[in-house]
Amino acid sequence: MSIPPLPPHPHGLHWNDNVHAAYAKIRTSVDKAQSLLRQDDGDPARLHAMLARLQDTCVPLLEELEKVVGEGEWSNGVIGRLGLVMASLDKAAKASQNLESRSYTRENPVSVEHTGRRGRPRKRIDQAWLEKALSPKLKLSHAEIARKLEVHVNTVKNYAAEYGIDTSYSEITDEQLDELLMAYKLARPTS
């Protein structure tokens, strides 16, 4: 439901262009906010931006319109509608923020095992996580993974070997690679 239309001019005249422009800006902003609220997956940043836009532009415009049009049933209706939309935006933004923060749980691939012996506990790295991290698609080095997991590089290497994760990319020798590169350069000298 949009905001009510402008009331007729008290003296039977037409409202000036500034009044119509201000009314159109308020109505357009409220309509956009309502369409944003109808979306299932409201982005909290967009909801907050729309709320800020209503607060920063529509509320001052409405205050000025109220001076020209006059206080009464029309201004109360617009204020009520604008307040309802702003409250709905705020509520949706908070709900979306909570939902978004809940959906991003950080997976901890390192588990700590207490062996019952003296010394530091053993840190175990999850096999599936390590396979993903060492996949050629991600291009992460052992050192980068160790830094992120806060373990030693040898721990990452040892578990990769234990799980049978091969991190070599190709069985081609350096000489074969040089030959391939030279053949390619001869075939396509401009590349």
- pLDDT tens track for 112-124: 998 888 988 899 9
In a domain, residue 5? The reply is no
Q: Which domain covers residue 150, as residue numbers?
A: 110-187
Using a 10 angstrom Cβ sphere, with 0-12 exposed, 13-18 middle and 19 or more buried, the burial of residue 127 is middle
pLDDT (mean) for 144-162: 92
Q: State whether 130 and 90 are in the same domain.
A: no
Q: State whether 95 and 158 are in the same domain.
A: no
In a domain, residue 3? The reply is no
Token reading at 174: 């350096």
Q: How far apart are CA 139 and CA 45, in angstroms?
A: 32
Q: How many domains are contained in the chain?
A: 2
pTM strictly above 0.85: no
In a domain, residue 10? The reply is no
In a domain, residue 12? The reply is no
- DSSP secondary structure letter of residue 113: E
Residue type, 128: A
Q: State whether 99 and 38 are in the same domain.
A: yes
In a domain, residue 8? The reply is no
**Which pLDDT score, from 0 to 100, does residue 102 have?**
52
**Which pLDDT score, from 0 to 100, does residue 105 have?**
52
On whether the CB atoms of residues 82 and 62 are closer than 8 A, the answer is yes
pLDDT digits (tens, 9 = 90+) for 15-61: 888 888 988 999 999 999 888 888 877 778 888 888 899 999 988 98
Domain boundary among 103, 135, 161: 103
Q: How far apart are CA 64 and CA 59, in angstroms?
A: 9
Q: State whether 118 and 97 are in the same domain.
A: no
Mean per-residue pLDDT of the chain: 85
Question: Looking at the predicted structure, is the pLDDT value of residue 130 above 70?
Answer: yes
Q: How far apart are CA 111 and CA 123, in angstroms?
A: 6
In a domain, residue 133? The reply is yes
